[in-house]
Amino acid sequence: MLDVENIRKQFPILSRKVYGHDLIYLDNAASAQVPRSVIDAITHTYAKHHANVHRGVHCLSQEATAEQELTRREVAAWIGATDAAEIIFTRGTTEGINLVASCITRDMRPGDEIVLTVMEHHSNIVPWQLAAKQRGLVIKVVPINADGSLDMDALRALVCDRTRVVAVTHVSNVLGTVNPVAEIAGIAHDHGALCLVDGAQGAPHYKIDVAAMGCDFYVFSGHKIYGPTGVGVLWGRRELLEQMPPYQGGGEMIDHVLLPEGTTFAELPFKFEAGTPDYASIPALREAIRFIDSVGIDAIEAHETALYRHITARIAAELPQVRIFGTTPGKCPVLSFLIGDAHSYDTGVLLDKLGIAVRTGHHCAQPLMQVLGVPGTVRASMAVYNTMDEADRFVDALVRIAPILS
C-alpha cells in the first residue's frame, strides 16, 4: 500500500480550497500537479545558475549545461534508451509529433500512406494531415471495437507495403485503452514502415522501455508526469534521427553557418534543438522522474487502478444512468462518462462548485467523439495522490448532482 498521505504532503497545491471545499483534483490526464522538488528545481535554476546553456565559457553557463545534460542521461535511462543523444528536448508531445511528421515525410511520395487510429489525440492527427496535404500522402484510419479496444484485424488489413508510418497512441486519453504498441510496431516493420508512439498518457502510468517496445519514436510531455510545463521528450532511433533533415533552424543546432549557403548542422541531439531550450524546466523534469521512481511506477498504477475500480463499482451499484466509455480489460484508470443525457459541461460545472476538478468536452479527440456518438464526455483521471476518500466524495457528488441534471 502507498503512503498516500505522505505523498500528498509533497504537493503544495493539494492543501488549497476551492469554493470552500478541499480540492479534489481529477484532471490529471490534462496536467498532473507537481511535487515540491519540481518547484524547487525551477527556483534553484533561477536563483543559483541561471545562464544560457552550451555557449558559455563561464561557470554559471557550464553548470546550467551540466544540469541539462544530466537530465538528458536520466531521461534516456528512464525509458530504456541506451544513447542519450537520442533524447530530444521539445516543448511537449505536440511539438515532438510535429517534428517527426514534418521531417520523416519530406522524402515521401504522393500516394504513400500514413496509418492512424480513430482514438488519436488531435496532436497525433493534425501534424500528419498537414504533411499529407503538402506531399500528397494518404491517411488511413484504424477503427475501434465496442469496448474501446483497437480493431487489430483492421489494423493488419490497413498496413501494407505503401504504408510509411504507423502513428498510434500508447494509451487513449479518453478511453484509457492500452494499445499493444509492441505488436503494432512489429506489424509496421514487417511492411517496411516506421512506428511512432504517442506516449503522453503512457509515460505517467507505465514503465517505458523503448527497446522492448520496438517502436521508432516515442514522445511525451513533462506536465503529465508530475513535471514542469514547457518541456517534453522525443526519443527516436539514432539512425533515423541522423537521416532526418533538421526541423527548425537557428542557434544551437548548427555546426558551421555560411552565407549565402553551405551551412552544416550540429550532431545529435542538438541538430533538433534550435534556439534556447527551456533550461529552467529541463532539470525539473529530472526531479519529476525521480519522484515517480521514489514511489514506483507499478505502485502508482496499482493505486490508481484500485481507485478506478472502487469508483466504477459504486457507479454500477448506485448510478445506473451513468454511461462509461472505454471498458477494455487492463485499461488505464481514466474514467470517461456521461450522466444520462446531461451535457458534459453541466456536470463539470456542478462538480467544480463542489471543489472537484474534472475535464469536459471532446478532449482533443473529436474523431473519437464522432464514433462514440457524443459531443463530449466528462473525464475523471486519477494520479498517485488521489485518495479513497476523494474517490468516495467524487461518487457522492455524482449521486447528489444526478437528479439535478436529469
Ligand X SMILES: *Cc1c(COP(=O)(O)O)cnc(C)c1O
Q: Which residues would be at the binding site for ligand X (CB under 6 A)?
A: 92-94, 121, 123-124, 169, 173, 198, 200-201, 221
Closest to ligand X by CB, 4 vs 334, is: 334
**Residue 364 a catalytic site member:** yes
Q: Is 84 exposed, middle or buried (0-12, 13-18, 19+ CB in 10 A)?
A: middle
Closest to ligand X by CB, 178 vs 338, is: 178
Minimum distance, C-beta of residue 92 to ligand X, in the bound complex (Å): 3
Contacts of 60 (CB under 8 A, 6+ apart): 49, 50, 51
Is residue 238 within 8 Å of residue 86, measured between CB atoms? yes
The continuous run of DSSP H or E covering 240 comes out as: helix 238-243
Minimum distance, C-beta of residue 184 to ligand X, in the bound complex (Å): 15
What is the spatial distance between Cα 148 and Cα 172, in angstroms, rounded to a whole number? 9
Between the alpha carbon of residue 354 and those of residues 25, 345, 351, the distances in Å are 11, 15, 5
Which three three-digit cell numbers place residue 199? 506516449
What is the spatial distance between Cα 392 and Cα 317, in angstroms, rounded to a whole number? 13
What is the spatial distance between Cα 69 and Cα 60, in angstroms, rounded to a whole number? 14
Minimum distance, C-beta of residue 195 to ligand X, in the bound complex (Å): 16
Is residue 362 within 8 Å of residue 6, measured between CB atoms? no
Closest to ligand X by CB, 334 vs 339, is: 334
Contacts of 291 (CB under 8 A, 6+ apart): 10, 35, 37, 38, 226
Minimum distance, C-beta of residue 56 to ligand X, in the bound complex (Å): 29
Closest to ligand X by CB, 112 vs 198, is: 198
Beta strand pairing call for 322-325 and 334-339: antiparallel
Minimum distance, C-beta of residue 173 to ligand X, in the bound complex (Å): 4
260 prior amide bond cis, ω within 30: yes
User: In angstroms, how far is CA 322 from the centroid of its own chain?
Assistant: 27
Minimum distance, C-beta of residue 59 to ligand X, in the bound complex (Å): 33
Dihedral in degrees, nearest 10, Cα atoms 83, 89, 90, 91: 140
Between the alpha carbon of residue 112 and those of residues 108, 135, 140, the distances in Å are 6, 9, 11
Minimum distance, C-beta of residue 364 to ligand X, in the bound complex (Å): 7
Minimum distance, C-beta of residue 223 to ligand X, in the bound complex (Å): 6
Closest to ligand X by CB, 288 vs 354, is: 288
* CA dihedral over 32, 33, 36, 42, signed as positive or negative: positive
Closest to ligand X by CB, 150 vs 350, is: 150
Closest to ligand X by CB, 27 vs 287, is: 27
Closest to ligand X by CB, 169 vs 347, is: 169
Contacts of 315 (CB under 8 A, 6+ apart): 322, 324, 337, 395, 398
Contacts of 173 (CB under 8 A, 6+ apart): 29, 121, 200, 201, 334, 363, 364, 365, 379
Marked catalytic residue, from 59, 103, 195, 364 = 364
269 prior amide bond cis, ω within 30: yes
Residues labelled as active-site residues: 364
